[in-house]
Amino acid sequence: MNQKRRILIVEDDPFISSIYLTGLQNKGYEVDVVNDGQQAIEKLANTPYSLILLDLLMPKKDGFSVLTDLEANPNINVPVIVLTNLGRKEHISKAMDMGAKDYIIKSQYSTDEVIERIENVLK
């Protein structure tokens, strides 16, 4: 089921990205990790992904800027799940209005729950 499915993790915290990297690889996904939004846009220009797991607070280019770039580029049509510590309603509304398929607050979900939500978006 997960064969050839590639996920891009965009997360500047190496500990958090390693947790999701391991969890997703254990489920059979191919996973790439970048630590800022600029690297994400560069990766997306050359590599097809099934899903993006996107943090909002990052150096160089934040997650909202990545969502803006994706919205502006019709050649990149990849579902995005925001995974962040920002939990205010205006952040959630903004990300969802910008095209995110799901919005997950890191502290409220286990790794397994996040992977389950990823799999729901990929169905």
Give the model confidence (pLDDT) of 15-67 as tens digits: 999 999 999 999 999 999 999 999 999 999 999 999 999 999 998 999 999 99
Predicted model pTM: 0.94
CA distance to 43, 100, 119, per residue, from 64 (Å): 17, 10, 23
Quick one: CATH architecture of 6-122? Answer: 3-Layer(aba) Sandwich (3.40)
Domain residue ranges of the chain, discontinuous segments joined by +? 6-122
Give the model confidence (pLDDT) of 56-111 as tens digits: 999 899 999 999 999 999 888 999 999 999 999 999 999 999 999 999 999 999 99
Token readout for 108 is: 């409220």
Helix (H, G, I), strand (E, B) or coil at 45: helix
Amino acid at 48: P
φ, ψ of residue 50 to 5 degrees: the values are -85, -25
Distance CA 47, CA 64 (A): 21
